[in-house]
Structure 1
Amino acid sequence: MATTYNEELIARGISAIKSGNTAEALNCFEEAVKIHSTPANWSYLAFCLARERRQFDYAIRLCREAITRDPHSSIHYLNLGKVYLLAGRKDDAIRTFRQGLLYEGSPAIIGELKRLGLRKQPVIGFLRRENPLNKYLGIALKKLRLC
Structure 2
Amino acid sequence: MGEMPDDAGLAEFKQGIELLQNGYATKALERFRYAAELKGQNPYYLSFLGVSMGRAQGKWAAAVELCKTALSMRRNEAQLYLNLAEVYVSAGRRDNAIETLDAGLTYCRADKRIGQMRGRLGRRCSPLLPFLGRSNLLNRSLGKLRHRVLGRVRKVNPPFAA
TM-score calculated relative to the size of structure 2: 0.70
CA distance in 2 between partners of 1:22 and 1:6 (Å): 18
Structure 1 stretches of at least 4 aligned residues deviating more than 3 Å after TM superposition: 109-116, 130-133, 135-142
1:1-147 matches, within 5 Å, as 1-37=4-40, 38-104=42-108, 105-107=111-113, 109-116=114-121, 118=122, 130=146, 142=159, 144-146=160-162
**How many Å apart are 1:76 and its aligned residue?**
1.3
The 3 A distance-change label for structure 1 pair 111 and 16 is farther
Corresponding residue SS for 2:89? helix
**How many Å apart are 1:103 and its aligned residue?**
2.5
- The one-letter code sitting in structure 1 at the alignment partner of 2:26 is A
CA distance in 2 between partners of 1:139 and 1:98 (Å): 32
TM-score calculated relative to the size of structure 1: 0.76
Corresponding residue SS for 2:23? coil
> What percent of counterpart residues are identical?
28
Higher Rg: 2
* Structure 1 residue ranges without an equivalent (≥5): 122-129
CA distance in 2 between partners of 1:64 and 1:76 (Å): 8
The 3 A distance-change label for structure 1 pair 139 and 26 is farther
**Pairs aligned (count):** 137
CA distance in 1 between partners of 2:120 and 2:154 (Å): 25
